[in-house]
Structure 1
């Protein structure tokens, strides 16, 4: 048996490769650009698989920013395997039921929220708190994390790849672009610069202390501060509003998605105006305006859209885009961060199995393993948004329920990568590498 930080793993998967390998045992060096959830997950699993990793992050210091973030059970099983369950669980919300209403406040569905599900836990908590914990864990493993790094150029040759960061040329076997929707690496992969487009929607977001804003004292809002975590949703034409209390009902996250065609060419996050936000829920259940108006400030976040990239990897297959850099998700998918974690875990495994002499093959295998699954998960976000925004007055129960398919939440990215590696390798070797194809669109009921 092999261990790291108390985590125990079987020695092999029929191939003689340990799930937790000795440090730097593969000889593969990886540069990860970006220390968000995608970059940290990739670096952590790469360290566990015996690769040498350096993370280059543009921010000069770590800041606990953001509001609520959701990790599905598919990512949760990874965190639990890393020994992070107790730390994450202590700061996460624990909602038993999602209560969905129409715009007039009629209850349409009480959807149980079982946890664990499919053998793993989900984690929903403050983005900054969870990110800090993951960052600290990466540092505890000895991962080289360099802050204040301005990556201005990506390059690759037949034998290596690298970046220019703070005017320094850094080389490795693989470069992983995990630097979000503004990723500079996208241009190298695509061969041109693609601009983000408006998705046609925007979100007003807020996160605040209930007692400080009098949520618990107001008879119109105190229902969400009852000593436990609660999750309320309201849906209407082209709008849905989610109010989520956490920390035992002490904190509140408000997220309202609405139509918005604003130009997002330069920036898509602004200070929000409360009067504009409240106009969206005029004529709605008065609890909606009451909850929204408690926020001391708002973020007006324009939801960007990009056409699915034809590939996430460079021509030489030594550069891979992961997370939002490759495939931004809508919030209604509740899978953006989870799929980023799966990206990093899968890439670390296939690099371990392929070895230093076959890095280009491993990167192509990674894309083949991941591409259709990620796109299928993306489409759930679009389907859920449309289901809620186009709901008919008579829709109740499962007609407005959040889908929780086993193929998505029951997935074990690490185990799956070991299982399909041989077949994927054989297919590429026999047929050559072909660009991935998009999966068919499926209705949300069949998601």
Structure 2
């Protein structure tokens, strides 16, 4: 499952993709939150839209497919299975490029590296800046991991089993159980046709290799021993699951290479933790700055649309200025989102049996995150931001803000 929140969905809706995405995304009207024994703690309405935009939460492959086909329809040349092994830039000739595993070299005005949390391009960008600062790419364990899965409800007998039928009988639903250091979430999509569950739990192991590996259903069942029997019943329906280690990356001091022609975008630049799937939704009565993030995909969309604006405004002859203006516009906001507190998760993981303080278990997401229009903002601040860089020179954003990420 992946979710694009209002700050991203308002951009995507402008591309004319709302109807196609809305047709297969989840539409649960409320969250039903329980303690480990199944006592209902809170029923929270999930308004839609919020801040005049919808949330697109669904299977990531289907959402990716919609975006891919849209890009192809615009004439974008997309090549699958092409591994990039090196990056380069030549400021004198105003070019940059990538070297592929095949030996082919691709040249362009600008390289935008959207290569994810284990970004290879990040090493190039940081290496190009080593004369200014040291290597700040030091991932470390968050202390948590997630088991997650997605499967067809009918194929796995979810709809006909009296222990799990509640996920299918009333269309899309969203259920959660939370206890000490654990929360389990089960949701249905497509009118109850597909099931997604995830369980966040303590895990302090550091993984050097793949962060996402096949999980074991029996290990997941061990976590919910003694819990509401519905939890084990739902977990047991899954044919398989993924074990996803949650790794923390300290904020990078810059996302743009020394010559300004290779830049990092999305998770390659500012990976955020998907602590609580439910932060997709809003309790309008408890908006504050203490929520969890669930903003990785949405921040990448903000990155992309802002970069499009700065490239358009700066022009082809001013690519480094466009890249550095983009970074200056995006850095503080993305950093603030990346560092949003873990308050919601921590509150959930302190829940006691039949907890009477459940009224304090809202899922706040601050208005400054979801009501934001990245495209309009970029247009409004481009001239001033670019002028400052031209007149006063470029500074690493972390230095300009008076700090370097430690």
Q: TM-score normalised to the size of structure 1?
A: 0.79
Name the SS of the counterpart of 1:208 in structure 2: strand
The equivalent of 2:56 in structure 1 is: 123
For 1:396 and 1:227, locate their aligned partners in 2 and report how far apart those are by CA, in whole Å. 25
The equivalent of 2:27 in structure 1 is: 94
Name the SS of the counterpart of 2:23 in structure 1: helix
* Pairing of 1:401-416 with structure 2 (within 5 A): 401-416=362-377
* Pairing of 1:420-431 with structure 2 (within 5 A): 420-431=381-392
Structure 1 residues 164 and 131, CA gap change in structure 2 (3 angstroms): same
Indicate conservation of the 8 Å contact 1:334/1:381, yes or no: no
* Pairing of 1:42-57 with structure 2 (within 5 A): none
TM-aligned CA deviation for residue 125 of structure 1: 0.8
TM-aligned CA deviation for residue 289 of structure 1: 1.3
For 1:157 and 1:386, locate their aligned partners in 2 and report how far apart those are by CA, in whole Å. 48
For 1:372 and 1:256, locate their aligned partners in 2 and report how far apart those are by CA, in whole Å. 31
Among candidates 90, 97, 111, match of residue 162 of structure 1:
97
**Over aligned residue pairs, what C-alpha RMSD do you find?**
1.9
TM-aligned CA deviation for residue 128 of structure 1: 0.7
1:80 aligns with 2:16: no
1:313 aligns with 2:265: no
Among candidates 105, 111, 115, match of residue 179 of structure 1:
115
Name the SS of the counterpart of 1:146 in structure 2: coil
Among candidates 30, 33, 36, match of residue 103 of structure 1:
36
For 2:245 and 2:342, locate their aligned partners in 1 and report how far apart those are by CA, in whole Å. 15
Among candidates 344, 357, 380, match of residue 395 of structure 1:
357
The equivalent of 2:286 in structure 1 is: none
The equivalent of 2:168 in structure 1 is: 225
Query: Can you give the 5+ residue segments of structure 1 that lack an aligned partner in the other structure?
Result: 1-67, 441-447
Indicate conservation of the 8 Å contact 1:330/1:381, yes or no: no
TM-aligned CA deviation for residue 321 of structure 1: 0.5
TM-aligned CA deviation for residue 70 of structure 1: 0.6
Any idea what the Cα deviations from partners look like across 1:33-87, whole Å, max 9, x if unmatched?
xxxxxxxxxxxxxxxxxxxxxxxxxxxxxxxxxxx11110111111110000111
Indicate conservation of the 8 Å contact 2:136/2:250, yes or no: no
Name the SS of the counterpart of 1:377 in structure 2: helix
The equivalent of 2:75 in structure 1 is: 142
Indicate conservation of the 8 Å contact 1:268/1:303, yes or no: yes
Indicate conservation of the 8 Å contact 1:329/1:381, yes or no: no
* Pairing of 1:202-221 with structure 2 (within 5 A): 202-221=145-164
For 1:170 and 1:215, locate their aligned partners in 2 and report how far apart those are by CA, in whole Å. 49
TM-aligned CA deviation for residue 96 of structure 1: 1.0
For 2:126 and 2:201, locate their aligned partners in 1 and report how far apart those are by CA, in whole Å. 31
Any idea what the Cα deviations from partners look like across 1:6-32, whole Å, max 9, x if unmatched?
xxxxxxxxxxxxxxxxxxxxxxxxxxx
Indicate conservation of the 8 Å contact 1:225/1:250, yes or no: yes
The equivalent of 1:433 in structure 2 is: 394
For 2:154 and 2:104, locate their aligned partners in 1 and report how far apart those are by CA, in whole Å. 49
Indicate conservation of the 8 Å contact 1:187/1:193, yes or no: no
Among candidates 294, 299, 323, match of residue 242 of structure 2:
299
Indicate conservation of the 8 Å contact 1:227/1:250, yes or no: no
**Which stretch shows the higher mean deviation, 327-336 or 378-387?**
378-387
1:372 aligns with 2:315: no
Among candidates 377, 396, 418, match of residue 379 of structure 2:
418
Name the SS of the counterpart of 1:111 in structure 2: strand
The equivalent of 1:356 in structure 2 is: 316
Any idea what the Cα deviations from partners look like across 1:225-247, whole Å, max 9, x if unmatched?
11410011111111111111111
Indicate conservation of the 8 Å contact 1:196/1:264, yes or no: no
The equivalent of 1:188 in structure 2 is: 124
Indicate conservation of the 8 Å contact 1:310/1:435, yes or no: yes
For 1:234 and 1:436, locate their aligned partners in 2 and report how far apart those are by CA, in whole Å. 41
Name the SS of the counterpart of 1:380 in structure 2: coil
**Which stretch shows the higher mean deviation, 219-228 or 172-181?**
219-228
Query: Can you give the 5+ residue segments of structure 2 that lack an aligned partner in the other structure?
Result: 128-134, 277-292
For 2:252 and 2:5, locate their aligned partners in 1 and report how far apart those are by CA, in whole Å. 24
TM-aligned CA deviation for residue 381 of structure 1: 6.5
Number of equivalences: 372
For 1:380 and 1:388, locate their aligned partners in 2 and report how far apart those are by CA, in whole Å. 16
